Structure 1
Amino acid sequence: MGKWGPLIVLSLAQFLMVIDQAVMNVSISQLVDDFDTTVTTIQGVITFYALTMAMLMITGGKIGDILGRRRAFAIGHIIYASGSALTAASWSVGSLLVGWSILEGVGAALVLPALVALVASNYTDTKDRVAAFGVIGGVAGAGIAVGPIIGGYFTAELSWRWVFVGEVIIAIVIVSMIGLISDAPVAKKPKLDILGAILTALGLGMIVVAALQSSDWGWIRPKNSPVTPFGFSITPFLLVGGLIVLWAFARWQEHRERSGNDPLVKLELLEILPLRSGLGSFLAQSVILLGIFFTLPLYFQIVLGFDALETGIRMLPISIAMLITSMSGPALAKRFPPRRIVQAGFVTLVLAAFLLLGRINPELDDVGVSVALVVLGIGMGLIASQLGNVIQSSVEVADRGEAGGLQYTAQQLGSALGTALIGAIVIGALVVAFVDNIESNEAVPAEITDAVEISVNEQASFVASELVETGLRDAGVDAATTDEIVAGYEQAQLDALKVGLLVAAMIALGALFMTRNLPAERLRDEPAPTTT
């Protein structure tokens, strides 16, 4: 397969890692029926999968340094395949939790940090490395967009279980082709910092759980919070607690280094300016991507009434544009430094968000939305074509596993924060706009307005307008008033989605400040890390 053989294997692994959660998200209703459980329970299983990866990603990168990146890559796929097999055969929620959330999560935490380190070690020439990371970034975007199509098709026509059977087969193919990948030798194998691994897992886990559950528990005012310390939601306490644990982790790492022991993470890596800027940009990109991927399905499925398969097809322009643009990385890198390319990507994301803002209407503007999604994919592709290479090029060969762990930790945190932050903003905007609409509508009686306000503030949710109409009629509200309230709700939905997109645009604009320490010159084959 020539020099691109390793990239084929690594791209296949990247695709396998990213389609998984997208498939599960569109299969929720079928899972609820198959296991005779609730949506909340299945969402808990999905949350635990993200939690497992976030908690173990840094440790997974260090294990790759200890075992060797290629060996960790192979072992990770074996664990992942075992989890997929158990998921496909799962007979209860418990077996689904063990197979998907735990085994697949552990496997992914070994695979992903090793994957980016192996890309860098197999492509030492700058041009080839930029091309390889561009393809990896494009494949990741394609997987996120194609996942709902695959999941929607199998769930509707066959069974969600067949997707996981396919994952087992793909994992076996990847392991059988492992010989195509060369591994960079590590001069000294470090020892695993057990306490550091526990502290980082606990700290990151608390932050991710708080972010993912914030919409259910509430950010400050408790909604369905399991406990209410001092009358507040548990969310802020988990966030602060997680930050305190991570502070303790940093102090422990300093102690390990002073005493001559191997730390889990070399804190001096975070003093490397391009690495730090790259991680911040990665986090911002993930927040924006997952925020938009939260917002758009609400528009397509809840407002317009499309199913999961139709939604996936409508969002396909993102992945196509992202893949093509990501693969243009080498050509761009010949003419422009990474900083300019990434900055252009974030500016393009701002433009895409504003284009979408003008297309969120009760009737779908097919051409307008497709154009906006292509622009969005171009922006994501520009960023993806550079950041992986920047991060890996900014550290020594021996530190690439750690850098990979940090990269995917930033990505997991960004994904959790993107869904939680944009989700909370959209729901909050929905409540404000809906209440404002019915308060200003003289056709809605005051007593009904008060009752609706209380109901919405107690348990707000982004649901189809038909459900609102049914609820009002079941409550005995007359047809004319129901129509007025439903019309106000439908307008509030559109306004809330626009607010979510506006916030995504603001985050993209703010992310420009994170790019200031990215390389301002074209990368050389042997870069010298810059520290403070």
Structure 2
Amino acid sequence: MNRWKALAVLGTAQFLMVLDASVMNVSISQLVEDFDTEVTAIQAVITLYTLVMAAFMLTGGKIGDMFGRRRVFIVGLAVYAVGSGLTAVAPTVWVLALGWSVIEGLGAALVLPALAALVAGSYSGRDRAVAYGVVGGLAGAGIAVGPLLGGWVTTYLTWRLVFAGEVVLVVLILVFIRWIPRQPPPTHRISLDTAGVVLSAAGLALVVLAVLQSGTWGWVQPRNPPFTVLGFAPTLFVVALGGTLLYLFCLHERRTEARGREPLVSLDHFGNRVLRSGLATLFNQNTVLLGLFFVIPLYLQVVQGLNAFETGLRLLPVSVTMLVASMCGTLMLRIASPRTIVRGGLLVLLAATLWLIGAIGPDLHGASFAGSMALLGLGMGMLASQLGNTVQSSVQEEDRSEAGGLQYTAQNLGSSLGTALIGAILIGSLAGAVTTRINDDPRISDAVAGQSAVRIEAGLSFVPADDVATALAGRPEIPPQEAAALVESYQSAQITGLKAAVLACSGITAVSFLFTGGIPAGRPERVVRVRRPGTGPPDR
């Protein structure tokens, strides 16, 4: 059992890194009340956290190479604890943003790439597959348990205790840090590519920011943006600017490496088919997972009226089956290859999303919903049991921090884009369905339908039907019978929007099969590690 001590520490850190994000998602209403602010302000805080992690994950991986992964892991945890402590006592929303979004985000950007490399450096062969399965399962458990824990603490105590508890958990991890074996020092001097840091951080930040704000700004026609470009919404222009900066980053990295200097990330890695497949599948997995974890709480809380704790209970089957499936990764490898397991996981995930579409309705069918959640966790767990090991096993020892940075960059980009894209699809489908139902309902006059169209065009929110009824009750120009018909149309459109959003997740899952061709078709002992060109024959 001694060999698993390091995994206990690293797995706990992984659980910690994903816990508070899911806690924040179910605590938004309480945060709005505590800080006397608006929902948009809290959403901006959550967005900034994702932006900081996505923008600096590659930099965190390179710093781990420069100063040692174990040391950077420790420093990152300390930074994360400072941010958690500041968040726990934050008197204003700006201090909350500083503590959670900025300081914790930077700490996570140091911890996660180092964590991925430390797992790979501490284990090999089937033990490494087990380790990554456990780490992936604990990440999923953190995402799923977060709403349950956060909902209970927020409902009965205070959300601040979660962040105070994180400080205690970091201290415990640091107490047992000696269980993680020391890593060999770098074999050559490594410098930080500052220009690469600026270009990659700015490019990733702009792309993520634009997609996250697309629901507010609009994609082409402006909805409620801070500015317009030639009369159009700024979203695509900001995406294009971010893409241009990322293209300049690639040119800079090629030039830096050609001059014999140390790049932020070697673009030769993307010539590694195994690594490409692993990263693409990770990206798609997190796009679907976080998209669903945006849609499902809306269904449970807004449509069904459950509180934060009850919502967490409904999500518990995901956590249980995902953790079990992740930890059974090595057992599955006895009968199937990583590629087969990943494709099987995608099939299970596709079945789960299709089942969920059928389970979503005006009334909550508990057994059917729980079954779809359990199947969802099973599919996600099968993916998690293989993908981390696939990414790390595809590179050499000295490249594992870079691979870890790429791994968590792909995951965070998938998480950000999943929430934004699925959210935009949800709102777009809601608006389209409401418009269609209002126009087709003979109980609603043309005048009221015209007023509704103007309101929908200005921007529609996913809110409880009771809030819509209350708002219409304050409009004396709308007769009560027409107001009731509008509420019915909105309720029906909510279900349509939710089903369309989940169907989009099904589509992404189906497309993911196209990216699995490079995942190893052999057992871990027979997986070939691909070296950079010119560095000698591959290890077997």
Instruction: For 1:358 and 1:28, locate their aligned partners in 2 and report how far apart those are by CA, in whole Å.
Output: 28
Unaligned runs of 5+ in 1: none
Moved more, 276-285 or 441-450: 441-450
8 Å CA contact retained: 1:283, 1:410 = yes
Q: Which amino acid aligns with 2:385?
A: S
Moved more, 146-155 or 200-209: 146-155
Instruction: For 2:36 and 2:489, locate their aligned partners in 1 and report how far apart those are by CA, in whole Å.
Output: 36
User: Map of 1:497-512 to 2, 5 A cutoff?
Assistant: 497-512=498-513
Q: CA deviation at 1:25?
A: 2.0
Q: Which amino acid aligns with 2:219?
A: W
Partner deviation per Cα, 1:367-394 (whole Å, 9 max, x = no partner): 0111111111111011000000000000
Instruction: For 1:133 and 1:80, locate their aligned partners in 2 and report how far apart those are by CA, in whole Å.
Output: 22
8 Å CA contact retained: 1:122, 1:183 = no
Instruction: For 1:92 and 1:166, locate their aligned partners in 2 and report how far apart those are by CA, in whole Å.
Output: 20
CA RMSD of the aligned region, Å?
Answer: 1.3
8 Å CA contact retained: 2:126, 2:524 = no
SS of residue in 1 equivalent to 2:525: coil
Q: TM-score, normalised by structure 2?
A: 0.96
Moved more, 448-457 or 57-66: 448-457
1:295 and 2:295 are equivalent in the alignment: yes
Instruction: For 2:327 and 2:199, locate their aligned partners in 1 and report how far apart those are by CA, in whole Å.
Output: 38
Instruction: For 1:183 and 1:509, locate their aligned partners in 2 and report how far apart those are by CA, in whole Å.
Output: 42
Per the alignment, residue 131 of structure 2 pairs with: 132
8 Å CA contact retained: 2:224, 2:458 = no
Partner deviation per Cα, 1:155-191 (whole Å, 9 max, x = no partner): 1222111111100000111111111001332322421
Moved more, 202-211 or 464-473: 464-473
Instruction: For 1:94 and 1:425, locate their aligned partners in 2 and report how far apart those are by CA, in whole Å.
Output: 30
Q: TM-score, normalised by structure 1?
A: 0.98
Per the alignment, residue 480 of structure 1 pairs with: 481
Instruction: Count residues in correspondence.
Output: 531
Instruction: For 1:502 and 1:415, locate their aligned partners in 2 and report how far apart those are by CA, in whole Å.
Output: 17
Instruction: For 1:418 and 1:514, locate their aligned partners in 2 and report how far apart those are by CA, in whole Å.
Output: 17
Per the alignment, residue 327 of structure 2 pairs with: 327
Per the alignment, residue 375 of structure 2 pairs with: 375
User: Map of 1:268-307 to 2, 5 A cutoff?
Assistant: 268-307=268-307
1:116 and 2:109 are equivalent in the alignment: no
Q: CA deviation at 1:48?
A: 1.0
Q: Which amino acid aligns with 2:257?
A: E
1:178 and 2:180 are equivalent in the alignment: no
Instruction: For 2:155 and 2:60, locate their aligned partners in 1 and report how far apart those are by CA, in whole Å.
Output: 36
User: Map of 1:132-211 to 2, 5 A cutoff?
Assistant: 132-185=131-184, 186-211=186-211
Instruction: For 1:427 and 1:32, locate their aligned partners in 2 and report how far apart those are by CA, in whole Å.
Output: 22
Q: CA deviation at 1:530?
A: 7.2
Q: CA deviation at 1:445?
A: 1.1
User: Map of 1:240-251 to 2, 5 A cutoff?
Assistant: 240-251=240-251
Instruction: For 1:240 and 1:9, locate their aligned partners in 2 and report how far apart those are by CA, in whole Å.
Output: 41
Per the alignment, residue 253 of structure 2 pairs with: 253
Per the alignment, residue 492 of structure 2 pairs with: 491
SS of residue in 1 equivalent to 2:359: coil
Q: Which amino acid aligns with 1:500?
A: A
Per the alignment, residue 453 of structure 1 pairs with: 453
Q: Which amino acid aligns with 2:182?
A: D
Partner deviation per Cα, 1:49-81 (whole Å, 9 max, x = no partner): 111111100000000111111101000000000
Instruction: For 1:373 and 1:491, locate their aligned partners in 2 and report how far apart those are by CA, in whole Å.
Output: 23
Q: CA deviation at 1:527?
A: 3.1
User: Map of 1:90-105 to 2, 5 A cutoff?
Assistant: 90-105=90-105
8 Å CA contact retained: 1:273, 1:530 = no
Unaligned runs of 5+ in 2: 534-540
Instruction: For 1:397 and 1:526, locate their aligned partners in 2 and report how far apart those are by CA, in whole Å.
Output: 15
8 Å CA contact retained: 1:274, 1:530 = no
Per the alignment, residue 518 of structure 2 pairs with: 517
Instruction: For 2:46 and 2:286, locate their aligned partners in 1 and report how far apart those are by CA, in whole Å.
Output: 18
Q: CA deviation at 1:46?
A: 1.4
Partner deviation per Cα, 1:256-310 (whole Å, 9 max, x = no partner): 1111100000110111000001000000001100111111111101110001111
Per the alignment, residue 420 of structure 2 pairs with: 420
Q: Which amino acid aligns with 1:120?
A: A
Q: Which amino acid aligns with 1:514?
A: F
Distance 1:441 1:175, change over 3 A: same
Q: CA deviation at 1:481?
A: 1.7
SS of residue in 1 equivalent to 2:165: helix
Instruction: For 2:154 and 2:379, locate their aligned partners in 1 and report how far apart those are by CA, in whole Å.
Output: 31
Per the alignment, residue 349 of structure 1 pairs with: 349
Distance 1:339 1:154, change over 3 A: same
Instruction: For 2:531 and 2:349, locate their aligned partners in 1 and report how far apart those are by CA, in whole Å.
Output: 29
Q: CA deviation at 1:35?
A: 2.2
